[in-house]
Chain A
Amino acid sequence: MKNNFYKGWIIAFILTLNLFLSANPVEAQSYRVESITMPEGLSSETGAIDFLPDGRLVACFLRGEVMIYTPGTKTWKLFAEGLHEPLGISIVSDSEFLVVQRPELTRIKDTDGDGQADLYETLSDDFGISGNYHEYNYGPLKDDKGNLFLGFNTASSRGQIMKEVRGKKDSLGLAHASQMFSPVAYRGWIMKLTPDGKLQPYASGLRSPNGLGFDLKGNLFAADNQGDWVGTTPLYHIKEGRFYGHPASLVWKKDWNSGDPFKLPVQQLDSMRTRASVLFPHNIMANSLTQPVADHTQGKFGPFSGQLFAGEMNQGRILRIMLEEVKGELQGACIPFIDQQGLRKGNNRLAFAPDGSLWVGQAEHGWAGDKGIQRIIFTGKQPADIDSMNLTLTGFDLTFTQPMDAGIADAGNYSFRHYYYEYHKTYGSDQFDVQSVQIKNIKVSQDKRKVSISLANLKPGYIYELKLNNIRSVSGEPLANSMICYTLNNLKN
């Protein structure tokens, strides 16, 4: 009996030892990634996710299903079916959702209480569809006044338009090979659907705005994709009446009389456009940014409250975005979040659960990507990371999430370079004027959480890319990320 008791302890000890040895030898991570088991038979390309107040997940999938997942019991239930590429959802109640699909913005409702939708009511179809595969529809994003924002992708010159389209047809953009175009209204626009049902043009110049989101102050953002007229992936702060650079949409501008917008001089288009608040250097930060969501969890998801998180299609990462207002416009920096920690690529849709975990739905749809849904949970262990990067008169302030060791005072641990991406009609852009930027001075705050770095130059229109080396927290933990990029549109003075 006694013998067995000891044996039991020895086995338990060995098992525990094994656990220690097989776990990350450095230390526990601040975030962990869990994969959600998807129902059998589902092609789980995720078009939209959001949460009911009781913690159940509502998810749309690209073959047309709307399903509800109960995390407690890990069970899936079918709510609706037959939709055409549902790519966005707004929850009204546990029996009523607004879903944007290819042909319409649709109210989907279970009116008889059997748990399945029976009413599919058109909320708006006052927009064109040509049948071109690339005319994806995004949104609906609801503001506090009850307006719903939608984003309409342009058509691809690699696809055709159908003989019969819905809505008025425009042929101006059709003649341009390898340009995304806008054969029907309002391709390339962000639209506003008012509570009384009017769909109004809101902002133009978008190419592929796969992801709309608000920050905590109600500012509207749209991600776009690298391509023609988009040198590298941008995040735009969308304001009414603004133009964001892709010319195709301009044919639908009220009273447009300047002819074929692709034939306007680049300088003219450049002077019309609003630049991205944040640019994501291609292949370095992101290739294809998706839905931005604001961290409203008040600490449940870690130290980054109020910042934006956005998905990335080509790499197994999320991007974290920090913004500040300079000369009346938002600009700021981006940094990877949870690289190589088990997150798949194809991170198309994001939503915070009531418990503060971040859920990520994946898709591929012929591009680089994946399928399924994962969730990212803050373990409670504070990460050693850059909390924010702010422009100063002479350089940048970096604020860390915790006190750092002496290494933060050493200029040799930082290397800055700057470059810019060209605004032009060709697909993407090389980096131009790539130069390292000399550090003139470093000042460390008394609490060792902030460094103020003065640089030899600050040029508006450039990205300032900073790499950090050998910087650890006071407790010896290395930084979670070693690179951050700030998009410098405006100077402080």
Chain B
Amino acid sequence: MAGSKNEPVIAVTINAVAGLRYDLPRFKVKPGAQVKLTFTNQDDMSHNLVFTKPGAREEIVNTALNLGDQGPAMNFIPESDKVLWSIAILSPGETKTITFTVPDSVGIFPYVCTYPGHGFVMYGAMYVTNDAMPPIQNDLNISELSRSEEKSKIAGNTVEAASNKHVHASTASQMQHPYKPVAPYLYRVFIDDASPAAIAVNLPHQISYCWDAGSCRLRYAWEGEFLDNTDFWKGHKDGNAKILGQIFYRDKTEFPLRIGDFEHIPVVRFKGYKLIDRYPEFHYFLNKTEIFEMLKPKEDGTGLIRTFTIAGSGEDVWFTFDSDDGVEYTTLKGKQIKGRIKLSSGKTHPFSVIMTKKKDLKL
């Protein structure tokens, strides 16, 4: 340990975070270095931190598992000469610091949470070396979760770079379901700029839209690829689905449909949807008026055809829009006046609004 005398103390911070992870997948110090390690539990469950001798991680994790009812009193840290340094169990929000001197010889020292059930995924590595560490995406000394995260960071950069060149991002890289999704198809999702009861639908012609079952309205539409659900599917943390494309339409009205009185925002009630040739037809009530709404892509891919079927309450129905919402409106029925279309009252047969995107508009 001679080397430690004149070396400055290396400060290292490791946080336990949601998803059975340490936020620091690995770090490097020189042989003989003195390390001041601060461990904070930012997760909502208990964690400890145990450094083992090189290669001893799994053995220590298994020994900890077999402590049985002795485990809690021992903080799940086995008595073993293969445990080098450790921080006992921290409750959510707690912090603790220890200082230790690493060996003079090089080696890869695992750190792991030995709390039952955590140790097989929640670990990282301290490299004691004068050299560089190996590429992180191939480093088997860090957890699979951290490794795949590093991989997707790298892949994410590539996708970004590719889409900048107007090249479609590769979606075929990995199967996400036991079937190959073919448009039209949908996900119930958490997604930006909608209520938590959103529906994202992918249509043919590279068009997708977000229809909000919480407020019974179309929120926005985009062109390009559909969604990246990586964060959304991860679990144990907030995560929204990410849009892989360019939004060309965004509803800016207070509410697009009015029943009877134009000034009055109707009370919505979502009744579900029916798949017709795999296209969802949304079913909802506005006040006491029953609405069915279906969206299809325009055949030339330049926008959406939005078809409403209104089970008659006998009242006037208004469709309103904002001229800055990114699209031009055409309709076969109804009269268009200043941002609103009045539909004949009492009709039970469908009417369509065609929404054609304005060129090169970014919303």
Closest approach, in angstroms, between the C-beta of A336 and any C-beta of chain B? 11
- B275 close to chain A: CB less than 8 A: yes
Considering only residues 171-211 of chain B, those with a C-beta below 8 Å from chain A are 175-179, 181, 185-190, 194-197
Q: How far is the CA of A450 from the CA of B74 in the complex (A)?
A: 35
Considering only residues 31-60 of chain B, those with a C-beta below 8 Å from chain A are 42-46
User: Known contacts A82-B185, A159-B237; is A65 also within 8 Å of B18 by CB?
Assistant: no
Q: How far is the CA of A117 from the CA of B276 in the complex (A)?
A: 11
Q: How far is the CA of A287 from the CA of B46 in the complex (A)?
A: 11
Closest approach, in angstroms, between the C-beta of B273 and any C-beta of chain A? 5
- B91 close to chain A: CB less than 8 A: yes
CB-CB under 8 A from A76, the residues of chain B are: 178
Q: How far is the CA of A101 from the CA of B178 in the complex (A)?
A: 20
- A249 close to chain B: CB less than 8 A: no
Considering only residues 113-128 of chain A, those with a C-beta below 8 Å from chain B are 117-122, 125
Q: How far is the CA of A34 from the CA of B91 in the complex (A)?
A: 37
CB-CB under 8 A from B178, the residues of chain A are: 39-42, 65, 67, 76, 78
CB-CB under 8 A from B271, the residues of chain A are: 121-122
User: Known contacts A41-B179, A64-B187, A366-B18; is A129 also within 8 Å of B272 by CB?
Assistant: no
Is B179 within 8 A of A129, CB to CB?
Answer: no
CB-CB under 8 A from B188, the residues of chain A are: 64, 82-84, 101-103
User: What string of 1s and 0s marks CB contacts (under 8 Å) between A167-186 and chain B?
Assistant: 00000000001100000000
CB-CB under 8 A from A431, the residues of chain B are: 72
User: Known contacts A41-B175, A129-B197, A428-B91; is A283 also within 8 Å of B116 by CB?
Assistant: yes
CB-CB under 8 A from A248, the residues of chain B are: none
CB-CB under 8 A from A369, the residues of chain B are: 117
Is B69 within 8 A of A483, CB to CB?
Answer: yes
A63's partner among B19, B176, B239 (CB-CB below 8 A) is B176
CB-CB under 8 A from B195, the residues of chain A are: 129, 162, 164-166
- B100 close to chain A: CB less than 8 A: no
CB-CB under 8 A from A219, the residues of chain B are: none
B contact residues, total (Cβ < 8 Å): 56
Most chain-A CB neighbours within 10 Å: which of B178, B186, B272?
B178
CB-CB under 8 A from B260, the residues of chain A are: none
Considering only residues 183-242 of chain A, those with a C-beta below 8 Å from chain B are 227
Is B91 within 8 A of A427, CB to CB?
Answer: yes
Is B117 within 8 A of A345, CB to CB?
Answer: yes
Nearest A residue to B194 by beta-carbon distance?
A164
Q: How far is the CA of A414 from the CA of B258 in the complex (A)?
A: 75
Nearest A residue to B284 by beta-carbon distance?
A122
Q: How far is the CA of A82 from the CA of B186 in the complex (A)?
A: 6
CB-CB under 8 A from B69, the residues of chain A are: 281, 283-284, 465, 483
Is A63 within 8 A of B270, CB to CB?
Answer: no
Closest approach, in angstroms, between the C-beta of A392 and any C-beta of chain B? 25
A106's partner among B71, B214, B237, B272 (CB-CB below 8 A) is B272
Closest approach, in angstroms, between the C-beta of A431 and any C-beta of chain B? 7
Q: How far is the CA of A106 from the CA of B190 in the complex (A)?
A: 17
**Interface CB pairs A-B, < 8 A, 21:** A41-B178, A43-B176, A63-B177, A63-B229, A102-B188, A103-B213, A104-B197, A104-B272, A118-B274, A118-B276, A120-B280, A131-B238, A159-B237, A159-B238, A227-B44, A284-B68, A284-B69, A284-B71, A315-B117, A345-B117, A368-B20
Nearest 4 pairs between A and B by C-beta?
A366-B236, A368-B117, A365-B235, A84-B188
